Amino acid sequence: MSALTVRLPNSVHQKVRELALRDDISVNQFIAAAVSEKMASVMTLDYLKQEAAKGKRSEFDAFMALVPNGPVAKGDELSPF
């Protein structure tokens, strides 16, 4: 494990302390969990962007052409907004 010094505004630090206490964990655990969640979010977006870049419009159009043209099923109607 490594140590990291992070400067936080007093108001943020106080709120982190309160939230960590509420969850019955240390401030370090709270911050580690928060950083892990942010990393997962960023990495997920990166993955989805990479996967989307692999898509081909022609393959999408070919797939959509297989969908039968029929009436809209009850409950699937578009909202008037």
pLDDT digits (tens, 9 = 90+) for 4-63: 999 999 999 999 999 999 999 999 999 999 999 999 999 999 999 999 999 999 999 999
Q: Is residue 78 part of a domain?
A: no
Q: Is residue 58 part of a domain?
A: yes
Q: Is residue 3 part of a domain?
A: no
Q: Is residue 4 part of a domain?
A: no
Helix 27-54 × helix 10-22 angle, to 10°: 100
Predicted local distance difference test score (pLDDT) of residue 79? 86
Domain tally, the chain: 1
Q: Is residue 79 part of a domain?
A: no
Measured distance CA(2)–CA(27) in Å, rounded:
16
Distance of CA 25 to the CA centre of its chain: 24
User: Which residue did the predictor score with more confidence, 28 or 79?
Assistant: 28
Predicted local distance difference test score (pLDDT) of residue 12? 98
Provide the residue range defining the domain that includes 52.
Answer: 15-65
